[in-house]
Amino acid sequence: MSTRILNLELGARSYPIRIGSGLLRDPVSYQLLRGRRAMLVTDENVAQHHLDSVLHALKLPRDQALVLKAGESQKSWEQAGEVLDWMLASRLSRDGALIALGGGVIGDLAGFCASLYQRGIDFVQLPTTLLAQVDSSVGGKTAVNHPRGKNLIGAFHQPIAVVADTDTLATLPPRELRAGLAEVIKYGLLADPILFGWLEKNLDRILALESQFIAETIERCCAIKARIVGLDERESVSGGPRALLNLGHTFGHAIETFTGYSEWLHGEAVAAGMCMAADLSHRMGWIKAVELERATRLLGRVGLPTSPPDGMTPEGFRDLMGLDKKVKGGKLRLVLLRSIGEAVLTADFDEGALHATLEKFCNAGPAHAFAVSI
């Protein structure tokens, strides 16, 4: 399979996104790092499968790699401090670079540390999960979590390159693969009805990791994100296009906060959140019943949750949503659907309709059984 290359156009901060098989083992993937000292952050699960080949391609000694425990709990202020201490102890200079080898947690954490270290150094994203390859590795959002909310401490810091090796998906647990598909479906719902229909038709081939279909999935999602980020890099435009990438996330982040970032994967929470956003959109009269059913059915076919976990109440859910970064002037703003393929950021939603959606989903019954069955 040939390498597919996209460019995210941001003037002097533009960078390539390489998609293909065998890229982690290919020294060509690291051309931008030639002649520079680099250090690498990964987690123990990823290290088991991919660290040695990356170090060999980069000609890096093992002591230039920091292997962390796996999981969302690593995306914390305390862990960021430990990574920064390691970089300082190693005397990495400002012209050095940090490499993130892993999923969204490692990418967010390493990117955040790179943004802080000596007021900002270069970093490279080597995403190894589908979610990271289609979404979190692209666009420069970096952050750590806080007990009060998801991604509340962070910075915009673009990588100098993204290398998405599709071979890494073969070692991904099925649950992680399915969680990544939540973000894939998100792109079809918010921006591309043709992509959404293509996913409905080809979902089984994507789940089977057929090379042509998985590469096309990643490329199409990255192309959408690259276009949106190029228009609105820092969500600085009020109601601008980048905020639309948060479809399902206001609901989803509330779920993650409620569960302490430990029980649900990010994509699982976003999947339930998108079902809730679609339900509210239908209550507002913005999408048809058939569109609501298509969105819910496709997420269900993947094996993703379509309702929040037990124990969440409408009042508690609404309170957690108030911590969302899209709150402006004390007013909650939500990304909702006008149709499949068209999303809008709005504060002009009916609070009664939102409460009805929360009532429906908080009383929908167990939603966490999927976690042990996948």
Same structural domain, 98 and 242: no
Same structural domain, 182 and 79: no
pLDDT digits (tens, 9 = 90+) for 338-372: 999 999 999 999 999 999 999 999 987 655 445 43
Q: Which long-range contacts (CB under 8 A, 24 or more apart) does 289-298 make?
A: 291/337, 291/339, 291/340, 294/196, 294/200, 294/340, 295/185, 295/189, 295/337, 295/340, 298/185, 298/196, 298/199, 298/200, 298/203
Alpha-carbon torsion (307, 311, 317, 323), positive or negative = negative
Same structural domain, 132 and 180: no
Same structural domain, 195 and 342: yes
CA distances, 176 to each of 204, 303, 366, 371 (Å): 16, 11, 20, 10
107 is in an annotated binding site: yes
Q: The domain spanning residue 303 has which CATH number?
A: 1.20.1090.10
Same structural domain, 118 and 252: no
Q: Which domain holds residue 181?
A: 174-373
323 is in an annotated binding site: no
168 is in an annotated binding site: yes
150 is in an annotated binding site: yes
Position 88 scores a pLDDT of: 98
Task: Choose the final residue of a domain: 118, 138, 170.
Answer: 170
Local confidence pLDDT in tens for the 374 residues of the chain: 689 999 999 999 999 999 999 999 999 999 999 999 999 999 999 999 999 999 999 999 999 999 999 999 999 999 999 999 999 999 999 999 999 999 999 999 999 999 999 999 999 999 999 999 999 999 999 999 998 888 999 999 999 999 999 999 999 999 999 999 999 999 999 999 999 999 999 999 999 999 999 999 999 999 999 999 999 998 875 567 999 999 999 999 999 999 998 899 999 999 999 999 999 999 999 999 999 999 999 999 999 999 999 999 999 999 999 887 777 778 999 999 999 999 999 999 999 999 999 999 998 765 544 543 43
3-state secondary structure of 262: coil
Task: Choose the final residue of a domain: 151, 170, 189.
Answer: 170
Task: Choose the final residue of a domain: 170, 192, 221.
Answer: 170
296 is in an annotated binding site: no
217 is in an annotated binding site: no
What is the count of structural domains for the chain? 2
The identity of residue 86, as a single letter, is W
Q: The domain spanning residue 153 has which CATH number?
A: 3.40.50.1970
DSSP state of 319: H
257 is in an annotated binding site: no
169 is in an annotated binding site: yes
141 is in an annotated binding site: yes
46 is in an annotated binding site: no
129 is in an annotated binding site: yes
> 248-281 burial, b for 16+ CB within 10 Å, e for fewer?
bbbbbbbbbbbbebeebbbbbbbbbbbbbbbbbb
33 is in an annotated binding site: no
Same structural domain, 108 and 120: yes
